[in-house]
Amino acid sequence: MEMPRLVIGTRTARLPIVQGGMAVRISLSPLASAVAQAGGVGVIAGSGLTPEELGAEVRAARAATDGVIGVNIMVAVRIFKDLVHAAISEGADIIIAGAGFSRDVFGWCKDAGVEMVPIVGSARVARLSEKFGASAVIVEGVDAGGHLGTDRHVDDLLPEILDAVEIPVIAAGGICTGADIKRMLDAGASGVQMGSRFVATTECSAADSFKAMYVAATDDDIVLTTSPVGLPGRAIRNPLTERHARGDYERIERCRACLKECGKEYCIMDALIRSQTGDVTTGLVFAGTSAARVHDVLPAAEVIDRLVAEWQAAEEGAAR
């Protein structure tokens, strides 16, 4: 029994698993190429990189695998256009865009023969995306990690999005096991996007202390926190989130001008870089609710094998 393939425009992945593009510097070429080589869609996070750095990551991933490589870039970042063009020019198969909506990116991708997949949180935005030429949409529910565009669960959103569009719909938010994948595929999704499960992999570029927080996290440790982007964020509780919950924000030493719009309560770029490099006390550790179900750090290929085995077991159990 084999999992269905995931077809996104002209690109086909052997498995219906999209690895989430997690910034800053959490999902880089080692993780993306490992997932793509194992049959999923590997995704590099472009937000927080320079165009030159992103180009180098895409080149490295392309050299390591002939699998499907995507790049996730937040529309909210100031150099969004430059990052998209850097990813396209170096051979990315798919551009994934969230944290805002850009009409221009559909044209850039169409001209380059690259698939465009926006992250959506409503049927209205899904329909608009299909109208502008999206090859698929990712519907991301409230259980996802990082910035959240909805307060609804993916199970509630998915039927509405499926009714609204004819292109493939990829479900995201709180998905951690092969049984979760079966549930989403049975509900009509063409695939799933999984972020938190792939943080706890040997190829993930986060520090060991960052991964250890995932392995140790319980349901009570996953909290909503404020973000100067203007959207709430989901993270693992630590002294920084406790401080922010009191409205006590650290002074910005210098502004990187990385976002198109920023409330400047604190520098989220600095907070994300601190955590990625190992300071999980004063850094921001974004995570989805499924982080509480992650209990080990494995090579990405072993994670994929486990997900496939879990899906097969769920399929066989349902068939009995």
Predicted pLDDT at 320: 65
Q: With contact defined as beta carbons under 8 Å apart, do 178 and 309 qualify?
A: yes
**Order of strands, sheet of 146-147, starting from the edge strand that comes earlier in the sequence:** 146-147, 233-236, 222-225
Which amino acid makes up residue 67?
A: G
The residues facing 194 across adjacent strands are 19
Put simply, whether the predicted model's pTM sits higher than 0.85 gets the answer yes
Predicted pLDDT at 319: 67
Which has more pLDDT, 226 or 59?
Answer: 59
For 290, the token pair is 């499924």
Which residue spans of the chain are classified as CATH 3.20.20.70?
Answer: 6-205+294-312
Predicted pLDDT at 256: 76
User: Residue 89 and residue 257: Cα distance in Å, rounded?
Assistant: 25
- 183: pLDDT confidence band, cut at 50, 70 and 90? very high
Roughly how many angstroms between the first and final C-alpha of the chain, as a whole number? Answer: 14
Does the structure show a pLDDT above 80 at 201?
Answer: yes
CATH superfamily of 6-205+294-312: Aldolase class I (3.20.20.70)
Predicted pLDDT at 272: 92
Predicted pLDDT at 95: 98
**Percentage of residues of the chain with pLDDT beyond 70:** 99
Does the structure show a pLDDT above 80 at 285?
Answer: yes
Round the average pLDDT of the chain to a whole number and report it: 94
* pLDDT tens digits, 288-312: 999 999 999 999 999 999 999 999 9
Which has more pLDDT, 37 or 150?
Answer: 37
Written as one string, the DSSP assignment of 234-290 is EEE--HHHHHHHTT--PPPSS----BSS---SS-HHHHHHHHHTT-TTTS--B--GG
